[in-house]
Structure 1
Amino acid sequence: MQLLRDKVVLVTGGAAGIGRATAVAAARHGARVAINDLAGDAAVADCLAEIAAAGGEGIAICGDVALPRTAEQFISRAVDAFGRVDVMVSNAGICPFHGFLDMPPETLERTMHVNLHGAYYMCQAAARQMAAQGDGGAIVAVSSISALVGGEFQTHYTPTKAGVHSLMQSAAIALGRYGIRCNSVLPGTIQTDINRDDLADRAKRRYMETRIPLGRLGQPDDIAGPIVFIASDLAAYVTGAALLVDGGMFVNLQ
């Protein structure tokens, strides 16, 4: 069963990690896919090749999500290529781990601009297109378990992910009249480039694994599946919701 058959799906941060897994999963489920990323040509080309191998059609529109014009260009070029936008997956994000007391202003500001402002610009631009089309759509924002809990070296990151979660709640109210559903997915500890160095510490990695009732760290595909579901018509009455996908870490108090 192809849950996204004939839909046009846009994914930010689509060349690697959760974004790449989502783009490929969307293609496997029958979607035409447009990705946005700042990654190099090789990573983008590899992702497009994987989309094609999954039976899908894909294009890449590169640019910095922190800039409002990038969102406008992403939407307009996707519409030029595929005629419409059905699903926006706002996934692009960064987390340069750093202590609180000596946090450089430029690190804080860049994280805010990419993770929160970028999500706002992309979701707004997609919503404008969906509203103009007149037949609804779905927006899925990748938040984080960090929207619910703290992190010593994430004081700049956790507020952005809480903001993304809150953005989807408010957007669900603002866009419901247009038939546009807005939901967030909150991944737990997923092995991606964003935490590669942090998880290189074997003791920390083992500790994180012992915190998870399912006994393992997550993989990007573990998040792609729930995103496809929420974006699909199977979730037609789901909006303003947040789906925690963490292997049970959050509820494990021991």
Structure 2
Amino acid sequence: MKLLQGKTVLVTGGSTGIGRAAAIGAAKAGADVAINYRSSSAEAESCIAEIEAAGQRGLAVQGDVADPAVAGEFIAKAVEGFGKVDVMVSNAGICPFHSFLDMPVETVQRTMNVNLLGGYFMCQAAARQMVEQGHGGAIVAVSSISALVGGEYQTHYTPTKAGLHSLMQSAAIALGKHNIRCNSVLPGTILTEINKDDLADMEKRARMEARIPLGRLGAAEDLAGPIVFLASDMASYVTGAALLVDGGAFVNLQ
């Protein structure tokens, strides 16, 4: 029995990076998977091809999570295609690195609208569908180690990730009576599109790798297992929790 056999999983920002890895990982665990994506049509199509290669149904729905209306549209199309929603993985996010003192207002607002408000409305829409269905469900938010630590060029980003972590704690309380579990994963430094330019600095990359007890930066696929676990019935008594997936970076203070 695969961990997500018979379940329908929705993933935002599912065409690349952690979202893509989570979507494909969910399919390999037996789930039908619907992904949301904003602009990467070719990548979305190739992700669906991998989901189908795993023997599951896949669906790609285009839309910008910064638009609250997109949340309801994504849920509606997933239900139309698969009949239900069992799991929401709120992953879509951006991090345009910038210094604090001259941070453009537009950059702050866009980051908040995508990362925090986009996550809020997606999770809310999924929860409404789960409550209507009446058989519970699971919500997993992709937060970040940045919810717990600072970043000089991430003053607009870290509050959004702390917000997602906090959202899962409060939503766990609000939705527990409906048997809907809400948890977050907190990735460390993962090699994805979001940070490829920043990590092109080989000196900085080497310095970051040296701080990680496991000796390497993370890959998107490193998040697939933890997300599948939290989405599965193996985590049936886990809610309001946060799972660090950072190779030990957070604890390596000395």
Question: TM-score range with shorter-chain normalisation?
Answer: over 0.9
Name the structure 2 match of 1:5. 5
Q: Map 1:1-254 onto structure 2 (within 5 A).
A: 1-254=1-254
Deviates more, 1:50-59 or 1:221-230: 50-59
Task: Tell me the CA shift for residue 172 of structure 1.
Answer: 0.2
What is the Cα deviation at residue 160 of structure 1?
0.2
Please give the per-residue CA displacement for 1:64-123, whole angstroms capped at 9, x wherever unaligned: 101111000000010001000000000000000000000000000000000000000000
Q: Distance in 2 between matches of 1:126 and 1:45?
A: 23
What is the alpha-carbon distance in structure 2 between the residues aligned to residue 68 and residue 253 of structure 1? 39
Q: RMSD of the TM alignment (CA)?
A: 0.6
> Identity percentage over the alignment?
72
Letter in 2 for 1:200: A
Letter in 1 for 2:173: I
Paired residue type of 1:185: V
Distance 1:135 1:57 in 2: 21
How far is the alpha carbon of 1:41 from its aligned partner?
Answer: 1.7
Structure 2 unmatched ranges of 5 or more? none
2:214 counterpart letter in structure 1: L
How many Å separate the matches in 2 of 1:20 and 1:185? 15
Helix, strand or coil at the partner of 1:227: helix
Unpaired stretches in structure 1, ≥5 consecutive residues: none
SS of corresponding position for 1:150 = coil
Aligned residues: 254
Structure 2 length-normalised TM: 0.99
Q: SS where residue 97 of structure 1 aligns?
A: coil
Runs of 4+ in structure 1 off by over 6 angstroms are none
- Superposed CA deviations along residues 153-173 of structure 1, whole A, max 9, x for unmatched, are 000000000000000000000
Moved more, 72-81 or 53-62: 53-62
Q: CA deviation at 1:39?
A: 2.5
Amino acid at match of 2:109: E
For 1:8 and 1:39, locate their aligned partners in 2 and report how far apart those are by CA, in whole Å. Answer: 23
TM-score (norm 1): 0.99
Q: Distance in 1 between matches of 2:56 and 2:82?
A: 12
- SS of equivalent to 2:189: coil
Cα distance in 2 for partners of 1:217, 1:49 equals 27
Secondary structure in structure 2 of the residue aligned to 1:61: strand
Q: Distance in 1 between matches of 2:40 and 2:214?
A: 35
User: How far 1:53 sits from its partner (Å)?
Assistant: 1.5
Quick one: which amino acid aligns to residue 169 of structure 1?
Q
Aligned AA (2:169): Q
DSSP 3-state at the match of 2:62:
coil
CA drift of 1:190 comes to 0.3
